[in-house]
Amino acid sequence: MASGLEPGSRARIAASVGALAALAVAGGWVLAGVPNVEVMTLIVFAGGWLTGVAGGAAVGVLCMLLFTAANPYGAAVPLVAAAQVVSMGFVGACGGLWGRWAGTPARSPSALKLGAIGAGLTLIYDLATNVSIGITFSQLAPTLVAGIPFALLHIGSNALVFAVAGPYLIRGLVAAGLCPAGRIYA
Residue 153, Cβ neighbours under 10 Å: how many? 14
CA atoms within 13 A on the CB side of 148: 4
pTM equals: 0.89
Going along the chain from its start, the domains and CATH numbers come out as 10-182 (1.10.1760.20)
pLDDT of residue 10: 80
Q: What is the pLDDT along the chain (186 residues), one digit of tens a residue?
A: 344 455 557 888 888 899 999 999 999 999 988 989 999 999 999 999 888 899 999 999 999 999 998 887 888 999 999 999 999 999 999 999 988 877 555 556 789 999 999 999 999 999 999 999 999 999 999 999 999 999 999 999 999 999 999 988 887 877 776 766 555 444
pLDDT of residue 5: 52
| d(C-alpha 144, C-alpha 131), whole Å | 7
Q: Are 181 and 174 in contact (CB under 8 A)?
A: no
Which uninterrupted H or E stretch holds 88?
A: helix 78-102
What are the Cα distances from residue 185, in Å, to 80, 111, 159, 180? 41, 22, 29, 10
pLDDT of residue 108: 65
pLDDT of residue 173: 77
pLDDT of residue 9: 73
